[in-house]
Amino acid sequence: MTTRHSRDDVVATALDLLDEHGLADLTMRRLAAALDVQASALYWHVPNKQSLLALVADRILERARPVEHDLDWPERVRAESGALRDALLAYRDGAEVVSSTIALGLGASAAWVRLLEATATSDATVDERELAASVLLEFIVGHVFREQQQSHADALGAAAPDRALDRDPDGGRVFSFGVDLIVDGFRARVGARA
Q: Tell me: do 37 and 110 sit in the same domain.
A: no
DSSP letter, residue 4: P
Find how far residue 128's CA is from the centre of its chain.
22
Q: For residue 109, what are the CA distances in angstroms to 18, 54, 78, 112?
A: 21, 10, 18, 5
Q: What pLDDT does 85 receive?
A: 97
Per the structure, the count of domains in the chain is 2
The answer to whether residue 74 is domain-embedded is yes
The answer to whether residue 2 is domain-embedded is no
Q: What is the CATH number of the domain that holds 42?
A: 1.10.10.60
The answer to whether residue 54 is domain-embedded is no
Q: Tell me: do 31 and 65 sit in the same domain.
A: no
Q: Could you give the 3-state DSSP secondary structure of residue 93?
A: coil
Q: Tell me: do 188 and 124 sit in the same domain.
A: yes
Mean pLDDT by 10 residues, the chain (194 residues): 77 96 94 93 91 95 94 97 97 96 88 96 95 97 92 72 60 91 95 71
Q: For residue 86, what are the CA distances in angstroms to 9, 40, 91, 141, 172?
A: 24, 34, 9, 11, 10
**Distance of alpha carbon 186 from alpha carbon 159, whole angstroms:** 35
The Cβ-side half-sphere exposure at 67, using a 13 Å CA radius, reads 25
Is there a contact between 67 and 122 (Cβ–Cβ < 8 Å)?
no
Q: Tell me: do 64 and 31 sit in the same domain.
A: no
CA angle 133, 135, 137 (to 5 degrees): 65
pTM of the model: 0.88
Q: What pLDDT does 1 receive?
A: 34
Domain that holds residue 20: 7-46
CA angle 85, 190, 84 (to 5 degrees): 10
The answer to whether residue 173 is domain-embedded is yes
Q: DSSP letter string over 120-144?
A: TTSS--HHHHHHHHHHHHHHHHHHH
Q: Tell me: do 89 and 163 sit in the same domain.
A: yes
Q: Tell me: do 94 and 164 sit in the same domain.
A: yes
Q: Tell me: do 94 and 186 sit in the same domain.
A: yes
Q: What is the CATH number of the domain that holds 133?
A: 1.10.357.10
